[in-house]
Amino acid sequence: MISSAGRTAIVTGASRGIGRAIALRFAQDGLRVVLCARDPMALDETVREIENGGGVALAVALDLRLPESPAQLAATAVKTFGRIDVVVNNAGATKRGEFELLTDEEWTDGFALKFFGAVRLTRAAWPELKRQAGSVVNIAGVGGRTPGPEFTIGGSVNAALLSFTKALADVGVRDGVQVNAVNPGPVRTDRLVRRLAADAAEKGIDLESAAEELVRSANITRLGEAEDIAGLVAFIVSSGGRLLQGSLIDMDGGQTKTI
């Protein structure tokens, strides 16, 4: 039985959206949470919310695109709380757009945070994860399974992260570390709301109509909420989810149609 008492989780991209929801859920479940993102003010606000609810949290403002930052984050977690039990690699947004207009710099930036940031942080935390029989959850995306014409960078990065998850899961079997990935579909984050607002303005409709149109065009049950993903991640790293290993879980309202 895995108890939440005394467990420490690192959550990247934790200042907003899915990462923030995961950090809040972990704190609610009794984990101590190390939140990482580039925006110190947004991180501090989330930490205050956790502490006001009786939880324990630490904000670490770092740019995980920098090669030295992931190791710094892992070391800070160990120095502060003495252990690392869970790593959630959630940080990283990629540029959408027409393939011919996407630059080398935009491709490099897409991989720098979401892929290499995850690889480096997992590697830095691995000795502690082995010691604690811990868990890694990579937040990828449905574009890794079904890429789209305006999502060439994101689809490629997500596919690489899913492949990394499968390979690392075999290492995890050997070392006693649980490794899985979650593929969210459209989730009502600030980023999606901006996209919906742009669609609404272009088509002369309101925001809710744009959301309904996205649901219809994607042929899904509804838009997701960040809390939906957080609930799944909380289950994965609990005692009840421990049999999951190397799983690539689509939480997308049915958007992924392939087997």
Choice between 88 and 193, residue whose per-residue pLDDT is larger? 88
What's the whole-number average pLDDT of the chain? 96
Cα 116 to Cα 154: distance, rounded to the nearest angstrom: 14
Mean pLDDT lowest among 99-108, 164-173, 193-202, 242-251: 193-202
Residue 229: inside a domain = no
pLDDT of the residue at 137:
99
Residue 53: inside a domain = yes
Residue 5 has pLDDT above 80, yes or no: no
Residue 32: inside a domain = yes
Count of all residues that appear for the chain in the document: 259
Range of the domain at 85: 8-185
Residue 20: inside a domain = yes
pLDDT of the residue at 121:
98
Cα 178 to Cα 32: distance, rounded to the nearest angstrom: 19
> What does the pLDDT average to over 119-141?
98
Residue 96: inside a domain = yes
For the stretch 209-221, pLDDT in tens is 999 999 999 999 9
Residue 119 has pLDDT above 80, yes or no: yes
Tell me, what CATH number does 116's domain have?
3.40.50.720
pLDDT of the residue at 2:
54
> What does the pLDDT average to over 3-23?
92
Specify the pTM. 0.95
For the stretch 168-200, pLDDT in tens is 999 999 999 999 999 999 999 988 999 899 989
Cα 179 to Cα 43: distance, rounded to the nearest angstrom: 26
* Distances 93 to 34, 55, 146, 231 between C-alpha atoms, Å: 20, 28, 17, 21
pLDDT of the residue at 4:
64
Count of structural domains, the chain: 1
Residue 225: inside a domain = no
What residues contact residue 208 under an 8 Å CB cut-off, 6+ apart?
A: none
Q: How many Cβ atoms from other residues are within 10 Å of residue 171's Cβ? A: 13
Residue 39: inside a domain = yes
pLDDT of the residue at 54:
98
Residue 21: inside a domain = yes
pLDDT of the residue at 150:
86
> What does the pLDDT average to over 99-128?
97
Residue 1 has pLDDT above 70, yes or no: no
